[in-house]
Amino acid sequence: MNIPRLVVAAPSSGAGKTTIATGLIAALAARGLAVSPHKVGPDYIDPGYHGLAAGRPGRNLDAFMCGPERIAPLFLHGAAGADVAVVEGVMGLFDGASGRGELASTAHVSKLLRAPVVLVVDASSQSRSVAALVHGFASWDPEVRLAGVILNRVASDRHERLLREALEEGSGVPVLGSVRRSAAVATPSRHLGLIPAVERSAEALRAVADMGELVAASVDLDEVLALARTAPPLTAEPWDPAGEVTPLAAGAVRPRIAVAGGAAFSFSYAENTELLTAAGAEVVPFDPLHADALPEGTAGLVIGGGFPELYVRELSANGQLRAAIAAFAAAGGPVSAECAGLLYLGRELDGLPMCGVLDTSARMTERLTLGYREAVALEDSMLLPGGARLRGHEFHRTVCEPEHGERPAWGWRLPTGLHLEGFAGAAGAENVHASYLHLHWAGYPQLAAAFTAAAAAHRAG
């Protein structure tokens, strides 16, 4: 299958990848093309902007959490029907999972996709040195095809001329565009990165439109498309959620699984709900900031990540929904919660009452906990048997006290020793699985099948 595609990378974080990648997606979509947006790594926020720009879900390509063998299939699944795909990288081009070489780096994913790479270079403090920088990145790994450069934060016509002359003389990599320093668009940030698109509504739409206009005026889109079309065909078969899970038995009633969303719980991977649907569930989204009850007939509840600390007063004030969730868990209803979901299920967050399902309290801190984790399930649970091993990701500034219950969800090794974390069931809520660990269920599709089966059993019971 051949889908024109390219990867947008940079020498380091902060060079402007997200602005350029989102702008490319928006500018190409404005030409009437169907653009498939993708993001290397576990980040939930950038794909939200990509999705606004493309009009279709932004999808993650994470070789650590899903395995390198699934990257091309997941890409082909997400890009089905697209005219072109734009893949935004993570960190610097060659930066991957710590201590694991190229694994999960932008370079690694570009090779798995056989995609040309466009390097976004922050040129604000250099001129001729840009050629040495690009030459180094182009020659470091011969298997990575660095095929173009977009200069970002260029000061003037003279500055641009010096940069182009140096690159023509010393790198052999063509310049596809030049974006002026004064042409920055507003993408507000806070403690964990960009503000998610779902929280900004009209502002986010305006920002995406601005990015598209900026890139259309500064980058040769015809050259970009020509470059994307040089990507050779991929021989992998598209990932199919229906082929990854064992569905419910014939004649079984589909359980309704409520999935929290909205501004407070905006972190989710599209493949997770696709797997639940393939396993036989009816997936129903709801917004805990506004709903005063779970969707009628809920037999399972999924609460993913997000920023509940920013909406703690509204979540706490919604006592009807908190009580409904507590009653659902107490009645044996299966609940799967990650990060923000863990905080919401605890007794309190920053001193305000939450659902009270778990005997833990959370508070904001100044310390960022961030990184990939190789975890082992320490207890049998509705999701996994004890001893199962998975790869996930942590990303938070909160702490829970205590960090785990009598039945911890996970254990993993840290430099300080074995770390126990999360809740694989609790007294009066045996079917609750809650943890800080974010998982991409495409890497472990049995999670969706097990959760759907638990929901079906609860409904039947």
Starting at the earlier edge strand, list the strands of the sheet with 5-9.
59-61, 35-40, 84-88, 5-9, 117-122, 146-154, 175-180
Q: Is residue 246 part of a domain?
A: no
Q: Is residue 237 part of a domain?
A: no
Number of Cβ within a 10 Å radius of residue 318: 17
Residues 260, 131, single domain; the answer is: no
CATH number at residue 394: 3.40.50.880
The proportion of the chain whose per-residue pLDDT surpasses 90, expressed as a percent, equals 85
Number of Cβ within a 10 Å radius of residue 168: 13
Residues 356, 405, single domain; the answer is: yes
> Would you say the pTM of this structure is higher than 0.85?
yes
Give the pLDDT of residue 198.
57
Token representation of residue 116: 């040309």
Residues 336, 281, single domain; the answer is: yes
Q: How confident is the model at residue 252 (pLDDT cuts 50, 70, 90)?
A: confident
pLDDT one-digit tens code per residue, 176-205? 999 998 655 655 554 445 555 555 567 778
Give the pLDDT mean for 52-63: 95
Say if residue 381 is exposed, middle or buried (CB neighbours under 10 Å; 0-12, 13-18, 19+): buried
pLDDT one-digit tens code per residue, 414-435? 888 899 999 999 888 899 999 9
- Is the peptide bond preceding residue 116 cis, with omega within 30 degrees of 0? no
Give the pLDDT of residue 192.
44
Number of structural domains found in the chain: 2
Residues 30, 177, single domain; the answer is: yes
Q: Is residue 140 part of a domain?
A: yes
Domain of residue 341: give its range.
Answer: 253-460
Q: Is residue 391 part of a domain?
A: yes
Residues 279, 395, single domain; the answer is: yes
Contact 435, 343 (CB under 8 A): no
Residues 223, 292, single domain; the answer is: no
Residues 445, 297, single domain; the answer is: yes
Residue where a domain stops, chosen among 212, 228, 244: 228
Q: Is residue 278 part of a domain?
A: yes
Give the pLDDT of residue 279.
97
Q: Looking up tokens 């917004």, which residue turns up?
A: 287
Residues 354, 424, single domain; the answer is: yes
Say if residue 242 is exposed, middle or buried (CB neighbours under 10 Å; 0-12, 13-18, 19+): exposed
CATH number at residue 81: 3.40.50.300
Q: Is residue 234 part of a domain?
A: no
Residues 211, 279, single domain; the answer is: no
- Rounded to whole angstroms, the Cα distance separating 124 from 159 reads 9
More confident residue, 95 or 170: 95
- Rounded to whole angstroms, the Cα distance separating 57 from 27 reads 17
Q: Looking up tokens 């699985």, which residue turns up?
A: 433
Active-site residue set: 339
Residues 399, 442, single domain; the answer is: yes
Residues 16, 141, single domain; the answer is: yes
Q: Is residue 245 part of a domain?
A: no
Residues 71, 185, single domain; the answer is: yes
Helix ranges restricted to H, 56-128 = 63-66, 71-78, 106-113
Q: Is residue 236 part of a domain?
A: no
